[in-house]
Amino acid sequence: MSSNPYPLGLRLHGRRVVVVGGGAVATRRVPALLDAGADVLLVAPELTPALRARADAGRLHWVPRRFVPEDLDGAWLVQVAVDDPMAAASVSAVAAERRIFCVRADDRTAATAWTPAVTRHGPVTVAVLGGGDPRRAMTVRDAIRDLLAVRVAPDGIAGRPDASTGTTGGRQAGRVALVGAGPGDPELITVKGWRLLTEADVVVADRLVPGLLLDELRPDVELVDASKIPYGPSRAQEEINQILVDRALAGAFVVRLKGGDPYVFGRGGEELLACAAAGVPVTVVPGVTSSIAAPAAAGIPVTHRGVAHEFTVVSGHLAPDAPASLVRWDALAGLHGTLVILMGLKNLAAITATLIAHGRSPQTPAAVVQEATTGTQRVLRSTLGEVAADALTADLRPPAVVVVGDVVGALDG
């Protein structure tokens, strides 16, 4: 093909798009069409289970038969996703007759439109056409995606609604995102969390946040180390809330970066309420929580078929007999499933003794995972009866997760 394609962003919301074929190609193409809000008509005698599920859920219309020309009535675009070249050619002939653009998976040279390789970065969509070579398009797309994800994106490209928003402007309304940073490995932040981090004017980070994530921030980003705030824990929390609110009201985009998931023993709820009370818009981006990831990093699944049908995550920061404790340790002792204890090292002897006193067997397998998913991860395997003493002997330190239950060892060969 000698002439260049002309790129377009099709706004398909509510518009009929016909997909012919119900196999692997259609399975890959349909989600982006649905994401664009297209009114998808799928013409195919049979569907893959994934497409079938979308049809059953009413997300698209399915006509379970072969293509007929009337299927293109009212269509703006057609995607041919069948292997049979004769069938594909007949669809594209009808499309051409009706001046409907036609994408063909089987024969790009016969197509009147090409689908680009795509990467999405918030509101920005980058589409790459490789001059008829899909592999080249994907290679270029991957390079651009890496650039947008790893290099810090400049204002505007990163997708802030208004690139003039600054920490000192004061006129533009700011906002706060509570972002889960994951358990320790900097690669375990979510894609969305990472994108927001690259867009932040101010980052307020916890002690448990992976340091490498902070390494990559733009030099002009204000970094507030929340663990360095003096005063006791409750006063420090008030200080943090105030910093979030003040910076946002001054127009900044503030990312509150928290270890694991913001809502798992992370006081994310208090920060959300403080922002809401001040009229500051807040979004929450969940994170990979250490309560699941730390056991996983030690080869322990929190559930396993035939072994555990439940897992309970509990904070051990208060001793079982502490008046302020909200945990029914006696009830937990009666469960068969997995018990995951966070912040429990200090009180481990009292916790394990209480569980045993209320009936959990001292032979129950137990493990401690310290600094999970980091280069300094340590794993201790023991039993409920011995784990507190073993952890002391091994000099295990926080942050550490304690796992109790038969899942410890479930994957051991």
* Catalytic residue ranges: 206, 228
Instruction: Please tell me the distance from the alpha carbon of residue 329 to that of residue 287, in angstroms, as a whole number.
Output: 27
Binding-site residue total for ligand SAH (CB under 6 A)? 24
CA dist., res. 180 & res. 194, Å (int): 10
Task: State the Cα–Cα distance between residues 324 and 355, nearest whole angstrom.
Answer: 18
Q: Which is nearer to ligand SAH, 64 or 211 (CB)?
A: 211
Q: Can you tell me which of 21, 116, 174, 183 binds ligand SAH, judged by CB under 6 A?
A: 183
Q: Is the Cα dihedral 386, 388, 393, 396 positive or negative?
A: positive
Residues 267-296: x where in contact with ligand SAH by CB under 6 A, - otherwise, as a string: ----------------------xxx--x--
Residue range at the interface with ligand SAH (CB under 6 A); choices 8-16, 153-161, 234-242, 263-271: 263-271
CB of 165 or CB of 291, closer to ligand SAH: 291
Task: Choose among 291, 357, 302, 305: nearest CA to 329.
Answer: 357
Of 67 and 265, which has the nearer Cβ to ligand SAH?
265
Q: Give min distance, CB of 394 to ligand SAH, in A.
A: 14
Residue of 193, 266, 320, 405 interacting with ligand SAH (CB under 6 A): 266
Task: Report which secondary-structure segment, H or E, holds 283.
Answer: strand 282-285
Terminal Cα distance for the chain, rounded = 57
Q: Which stretch binds ligand SAH (CB under 6 A): 53-61, 67-75, 242-250, 255-263?
A: 255-263
Query: CB-side exposure of 400: number of CA atoms within 13 Å?
Result: 27
Contacting ligand SAH (CB under 6 A), which of 200, 372, 384, 396? 372
Environment class of 171 (CB within 10 Å of its CB; exposed 0-12, middle 13-18, buried 19+) = exposed
- Amino acid sitting at position 235: R
Q: What is the spatial distance between Cα 275 and Cα 287, in angstroms, rounded to a whole number?
A: 20
Contact partners, residue 166, CB within 8 Å, separation at least 6 = 172, 201, 251, 252
Binding mask 314-353 for ligand SAH (x = CB under 6 A): ----------------------------xx----------
298 lines the binding site for ligand SAH (CB under 6 A): no
CB nearer ligand SAH, residue 166 or residue 186: 186
One residue of 39, 106, 261, 271 binding ligand SAH per CB under 6 A = 261
For residue 255, the surrounding DSSP H or E stretch is strand 253-258
Smallest distance, ligand SAH to C-beta of residue 152, A = 25
3-state secondary structure of 45: coil
Tell the smallest beta-carbon distance from residue 361 to ligand SAH (Å): 24
The minimum distance between CB 329 and ligand SAH, in angstroms, equals 17
Query: For binding to ligand SAH (CB under 6 A), which residues are involved?
Result: 183-184, 208, 259-261, 264-266, 289-291, 294, 342-343, 369-373, 398-401
